Chain A
Amino acid sequence: MWMIEIPPFVPFFIGALVLLFTRGMLRSTIMIAIPIVSAMHLVMVPEGIHLQFAFLEYQLTPYRVDKLSIMFGYVFHIAALIGIIYSLHLRDTMQQVSAMLYAGSALGAVFAGDLLTLFVFWELLAFTSVFLIWARRTQRSYDAGMRYLIIQVLSGVILLVGTLFYAHENNTLAFGYIGLDSVAGWLILIAFGIKCAFPIAHNWLTDAYPEATVTGTVFLSAFTTKVAVYALARAFPGAEILVYIGAAMTCFPIFFAVIENDLRRVLAYSLINQVGFMVVGIGIGTALAINGAVSHAFNDVIFKGLLFMSMGAVLQMTGRINGSDLGGLYKTMPKTTILCIVGAASISAFPLFSGFVSKSMVMSAALEEGYDWIWLMLLFASAGVFHHAGIKIPYFAFFAHDSGLKANDPPNNMLLAMAIAASLCIAIGIYPQALYSLLPYDTGYNPYDATHVLAQTQLLFFSALAFVWLNLKGMYPPELRSTNLDFDWIYRRAMPNVLQHIFSVIWQADRTLRDALKLRLNIYLNYFSGKNGRLSILLSRNYPSGSMVMWVAVVLATYLLLSFIQ
């Protein structure tokens, strides 16, 4: 059947092309239809390799379906649909086309069966998504988009170098388990790590996502990091270093999130924190841990999308996103408030919400494998994520002091998108078996036993108590208009400053050197011209050198003529 052979990125790319030539209702219909039709198609596709051809001496596999890739395939379709509904009110061809291409690239990457195809989509992800940042059309977003693009392309280049090394060593391009016992493995890990927002390489995310458009951030939050998580899960399951990297990722962003003022940047930090849980799961590498990582990625796309959508709605309706400017919006945006709280409860992993059924798998796996300290860090991060994403986001946006802002709930399409995401969060939380049946391994895990539920509820309620206590004591840091330095200070401030300093020193030295040389040359020139002046009195007082040359030519020509005559 030829239909099977159409990889899921094709309808999205064709759709993007069609969008260029349509507008109005027709365009909206096409945009909604594409993810739905493509998802229905994907449900019918059996596992296996559906497209393969030879390129030079290598086998390329642009379309491979297995348990791992199809999970991400499903959730990317859901994310694309939700994002498209959320952005239906837009009249901006650039954003709509690039969002479509971006979703297609993500699907292309997760169904890629070889490293070269992966590389192509890896770079496409960067080039298509950057327009969602630039579409804000401000100087800030332009600069942030540039930095984002440079880092993303760098990741792609490292991936390409790693791929070439890998192909040379193993004589195959097949994308499967790679491991860390060769240079190629490390290079590929670094490339994945940059896109996955590993510590130190994480600032492209916190820098660019909050600068993107209201709807662009929703798309951005869904795809890039999850493609990287998928790639890690495929290539490096059980690599112990990932456990420590992931644990660091869960912990350090929450400190920044607590003091950050831009609420979408708070969410960007908590995105890193959630990806950290997935990376830990991949690093542990047992069936339960991988299941936990993959299902958490699935849930995170939905609940993080929901939170970004609710904050996007606030930004759209009030024109502000800083915690210091907002507050009291529950009065005029009640629906958004409720939907945001559902997202907050999901990311905080409250029982009966989606985060709980996936995060607890990673935590249990960490305990089972004897990573005690890692488990403690994850537990701290769980309390922390509730603190900043679960309480801080809704509290400062919708409650806290009354900012006096009067806004309405956003347009219906935005509310609908949020409602779909919120119902998925609750549905997965209540009936996790539906999600578990899609997972790569069958572990028979049940999140709803008394121990888990009680422990998690205690942890969360006492975190809330801590928030209340700190607030009543006046110890909670107020929201302040500020920029907080992070690692990006190194390349946005320190390195340019150092370079500027070095160059100014070089220029200074260059100038003094040249001045000295010029002076010396002048002296010599004067000396020679003086000498010449004295000589010229004897030979050529006022004949120009041009006539001298002519007379020399005439003499030589005469000489030549004479030689012929002879």
Chain B
Amino acid sequence: MKNDKKYLFDNPDNVKRLLHILYACCAILVVLDLVIHRHTMHEWEKLWFFYPIYGFIGCVVLVIVATWMRTFLMRSEDYYDNHTETDVDNDSLANSTLNNNTLNNNTLNNDIINKKGEQHVDD
């Protein structure tokens, strides 16, 4: 069954349109900052464009720091499923090939885990 129906964002123009709306909103909000008199409670708030700049920079910093955190926090998907450090590489490879595009990967995973569990017995 092939789905030939065109959806809203299949058309790149629509994506562009949406982005232009976003840019326009941002521009309007910046202009409003100059027009509307804000009764501020804090001196930082009095700075021009405090909120837009803080929001933008905050998010960029967030993403950059989070990406950097990946370098030392990221492990293979089944990291905790394996009992010993040495087994991680072999099994993650085996698992990832199995996992690809299999819907019921849970059962497969479990079989592997269970099989592993049998092998590894603390004596």
Contact = CB atoms under 8 A, between A and B. Distances in A.
A37 interface: no
A259 B51 contact: no
Interface in A352-411: 364, 367-368, 372, 375-376, 379-380, 383-384, 387, 399, 406
Contacts of A368: 41
A455 to B, nearest CB: 5
B22 A375 contact: no
A552 to B, nearest CB: 47
A67 to B, nearest CB: 27
Nearest to A496: B83
A326 to B, nearest CB: 14
A391 B13 CA distance: 21
Secondary structure dominating the interface of A: helix
Contacts of B57: 466
B81 A140 contact: yes
A470 B59 CA distance: 9
A459 B55 contact: yes
A383 B7 contact: no
Contacts of B78: 483
A319 B99 CA distance: 13
A450 interface: yes
A462 interface: yes
B70 A484 contact: yes
A244 interface: no
Interface residues of A, number: 57
Contacts of B26: 461-462, 465
Contacts of A459: 51-52, 54-55
Interface string A245-276: 00000000011101100000000000000000
B121 interface: no
A467 B59 contact: yes
Contacts of B85: 497
Contacts of A497: 85
Contact of B7 (A140, A258, A331, A450): A331
B56 A254 contact: no
Given A367-B42, A375-B42, A454-B29, A387 B75 contact: no
B32 A454 contact: yes
A464 interface: yes
Interface residues of B, number: 61
A484 B110 contact: no
A140 B79 CA distance: 12
Interface string B13-53: 00000010011011001101100101111101100010111
Contacts of A91: none
A460 B67 CA distance: 21
Contacts of A255: 62, 65-66, 69
B77 A367 contact: no
A394 to B, nearest CB: 13
Contacts of B103: 319
A383 B76 contact: no
B53 A462 contact: yes
Contacts of A531: none
Contacts of B39: 451
A516 interface: no
A458 interface: yes
Given A481-B77, A485-B75, A259 B66 contact: yes
A133 to B, nearest CB: 15
A480 interface: yes
B62 A384 contact: yes
A545 interface: no
Contact of B55 (A372, A460, A468, A480): A460
B63 A470 contact: yes
Interface in B92-123: 96, 99, 103-104, 106, 109-110, 113-114, 122
Contacts of A464: 22
Contact of A455 (B9, B25, B38, B69): B38
A462 B114 contact: no
Contacts of B42: 367, 372, 375
Contacts of B12: none
A154 to B, nearest CB: 20
Given A140-B81, A462-B52, A483-B79, A387 B59 contact: yes
Interface in A459-506: 459-470, 475-477, 480-486, 492-493, 497, 500
B60 to A, nearest CB: 5
Contact of A259 (B38, B44, B73): B73
A364 B41 CA distance: 9
Given A466-B56, A468-B22, A493-B80, A485 B73 contact: yes
18 contacts: A140-B81, A255-B65, A259-B74, A367-B41, A383-B54, A383-B59, A384-B58, A454-B36, A459-B52, A463-B55, A463-B56, A464-B22, A468-B19, A468-B22, A480-B74, A482-B76, A483-B77, A485-B74
Given A384-B62, A466-B63, A476-B63, 5 more contacts: A140-B81, A380-B54, A459-B54, A466-B55, A477-B70
Interface of A: 138-140, 254-256, 258-259, 319, 330-331, 364, 367-368, 372, 375-376, 379-380, 383-384, 387, 399, 406, 450-451, 454-470, 475-477, 480-486, 492-493, 497, 500
The 3 closest A-B pairs by CB, nearest first: A466-B59, A258-B66, A462-B55
